[in-house]
Amino acid sequence: MLRWLLGIIGIGLLLAVVVAAWLWRDYQNFLATPLHTRTGHELTFILAPGTSYPAMVEQLHSSGYTNVSWHWRLLGRLQQPVLKAGEYLIDAHTTPQQWLQQLQRGEVVQHRFTIVEGWTVSELLARLAGEPLLQADSQTLSAQQLLAEISTTHSSDWLLGGNRHPDELQAQANYDYAALEGLFLPETYSFQRGESDLSLLNRAHQALLVSLQQAWRQLDPARVPLEHPYQLLILASIIEKETGIASERAQIAGVFARRLQRGMLLQTDPTVIYGIGPGYDGNIRRRDLTTDTLYNTYTRPGLPPTPIALAGAAAIDAAASPAPGEALYFVASGDGGHVFSATLSEHNRAVQRYLQKLRTRQNPE
């Protein structure tokens, strides 16, 4: 009888071991099997703040990626996960175990927003307003409030050399965002769904300060007569608008540096266009060159009071380290680049050649 009873117990234990081994193997298969195989496509999964572990599994089940089974309950008991809210991606290889690790580490989807060289701040803010994945907090702020959000007293004092923007800027509608112009570095920035656009703007501003600081350390005041880094940023913004050709930036910077050294007017069209403001229709007329504005470098000496666009790192570097030479003038070549001249007579001939090319293109034989 005892032998029979021991046999029954032995068989029961053996069956328990077999069942346990089978369940464990099934659990291991569950951990290693990609969730993607259930639907055949990737899933963007948004985990709301405060979502519990069971609610997360139910949400995953509702999307067709899993069943609510004992496997998930065991995984939850073993891992005791703390889930971080956000937007996640289940790709073709994501297993349940990897998925839980993503949620615990907060490996959320990173989106990208590119600030383009030569944009104005108005264009940047408009593009941010049109980005549906960002929270548009900047749209509720005035230019001065936004300036306060992105800058500190220390950074402003260093950037502006203790100076401030002209009071007359505040009285002219065309220059509502002038105090912000140029203060963000064109680059591609990552962000999370629902992130405030102020966070992105802050990062772009800090990146601008770093780029400007590096360039300012390289500047030779004997070659580039600037008083503080803000003037370097102004000059870089003009260079940015004058050419998109990398090889020309340092040459154009050299022309402007030599003009500043000699007290010559900069006479650069992009500043005139900025001064015209929203009324600019794509054409510069003679009256535009003679009508005085804060930004008309045909009527006012030196640099304009603020940048006229967002300058990239390459334009900032060129402004601080201009190419040597004797050129004081440049004009479009008609082929995408510019012709540089050391004398006014050379420049006038280059202008005539450019005008002849235009006439030929407009009236081909």
Mean pLDDT by 10 residues, the chain (365 residues): 58 56 73 69 84 89 80 84 89 86 90 96 94 93 84 62 54 65 95 94 93 92 90 96 91 96 95 90 89 93 94 96 92 82 88 78 64
Residue 61 corresponds to which tokens in the numbers above? 């089940």
Residue-level pLDDT at 144 = 81
Alpha helix segments (H runs only) across 130-171? 143-150, 153-160
Residue-level pLDDT at 212 = 93
Residue 25 corresponds to which tokens in the numbers above? 């193997």
Residue-level pLDDT at 146 = 87
List the one residue out of 287, 290, 224, 288 whose CA is nearest residue 253.
Answer: 224
**Could you give the domains of the chain?**
31-109 (3.30.1490.480), 112-325 (no CATH)
Residue-level pLDDT at 171 = 47
DSSP 32-44: HS-GGGGTSS-EE
The residue length of the chain stands at 365
β-partners of residue 340 are 330
DSSP helix/strand/coil, 75? helix
Could you give the CA distance from residue 298 to residue 295 in angstroms, rounded to a whole number? Answer: 9
CB-based contact 310:185 (threshold 8 Å): yes
Side chain identity at residue 250, one-letter code: A
Residue 15 corresponds to which tokens in the numbers above? 């069956």
Residue 57 corresponds to which tokens in the numbers above? 């599994």
Alpha helix segments (H runs only) across 137-280? 143-150, 153-160, 197-218, 229-242, 249-262, 269-276
Could you give the CA distance from residue 238 to residue 319 in angstroms, rounded to a whole number? Answer: 9
DSSP helix/strand/coil, 279? helix
Which residues does 363 contact at the CB level (< 8 Å), separation at least 6?
none
CB-based contact 184:121 (threshold 8 Å): yes
DSSP helix/strand/coil, 198? helix
Strands (E), the chain: 43-47, 86-90, 111-114, 188-191, 329-332, 338-341
DSSP helix/strand/coil, 301? coil
CB-based contact 83:103 (threshold 8 Å): yes
**Residue whose token pair is 């569950």:** 30
Q: Give the tens place of pLDDT for each residue, 262-307.
A: 999 999 999 999 999 888 888 888 999 999 999 999 999 999 999 9
Could you give the CA distance from residue 49 to residue 106 in angstroms, rounded to a whole number? Answer: 12
For residue 95, CA distances in Å to 34, 36, 44, 62 come to 4, 8, 15, 17
**Residue whose token pair is 């050709």:** 245
Could you give the CA distance from residue 365 to residue 65 in angstroms, rounded to a whole number? Answer: 68
Could you give the CA distance from residue 355 to residue 309 in angstroms, rounded to a whole number? Answer: 28
Residue-level pLDDT at 40 = 56
Angle subtended at Cα 112 by Cα 179 and Cα 274, rounded to the nearest 5 degrees: 30
Statement: the pTM of the whole predicted model exceeds 0.85 = no
CB-based contact 85:49 (threshold 8 Å): yes
CB-based contact 197:134 (threshold 8 Å): yes
